[in-house]
Structure 1
Amino acid sequence: MEQTILHHMDTVREITMRSIEKIPEEIADVVPEGFNNNIRWNFGHIAVVQERLVYHVLGEKLNLPNEYVELFGPGTRPADWKETPPSLEEISTILTEQIARIKEFVPGRLSEKLPTPFQNRMGISFYTLGETLLFSFYHEAMHMETIKRIYKIISN
Structure 2
Amino acid sequence: MEPYLASHLDTVRSLTVKVLDTTPEELLDVVPPGYSNSIRWNLGHIVYVQERLAYEVAGKDIHLPDQYARLFAAGTKPADWNETPPSIEEIRQQLVDQSARIKASHQSDLNTPLSHPFTNKSGITFDTVGGCLLFSCFHEGLHLDTIRHYLRQLKK
Normalised to the residue count of structure 1, the TM-score between the two structures is 0.97
Question: Is 1:25–1:87's contact at 8 Å kept on the other side of the alignment?
Answer: no
Q: In the alignment, which residue of structure 2 is the partner of 1:7?
A: 7
Return the offset for 1:97: 0.6
Q: In the alignment, which residue of structure 1 is the partner of 2:150?
A: 150
Q: In the alignment, which residue of structure 1 is the partner of 2:79?
A: 79
Q: Which has the higher mean CA deviation after the structures are superposed, 80-89 or 43-52?
A: 80-89
Return the offset for 1:124: 1.2
One-letter amino acid matched to 1:2 = E
Return the offset for 1:53: 0.4
1:64 matched to 2:64: yes
Q: In the alignment, which residue of structure 1 is the partner of 2:104?
A: 104
How far apart, CA to CA, are the structure 2 residues paired with 1:10 and 1:23?
20
- The residue correspondences of 1:46-57 to structure 2 (distance < 5 A) are 46-57=46-57
How far apart, CA to CA, are the structure 2 residues paired with 1:132 and 1:2?
14
Return the offset for 1:136: 0.2
How far apart, CA to CA, are the structure 1 residues paired with 2:85 and 2:152?
23
How far apart, CA to CA, are the structure 2 residues paired with 1:42 and 1:143?
6
Q: In the alignment, which residue of structure 2 is the partner of 1:134?
A: 134
Return the offset for 1:83: 1.0
How far apart, CA to CA, are the structure 2 residues paired with 1:62 and 1:49?
10
Greater than 3 Å deviation, 4+ residue runs: none
Q: Which has the higher mean CA deviation after the structures are superposed, 59-68 or 1-10?
A: 1-10
How far apart, CA to CA, are the structure 1 residues paired with 2:155 and 2:88?
18
Question: Is 1:118–1:126's contact at 8 Å kept on the other side of the alignment?
Answer: yes
One-letter amino acid matched to 1:95 = L
1:19-78 deviations in Å (ceiling 9; x for gaps): 111112221111111111000000000000000000001111110011111111111100
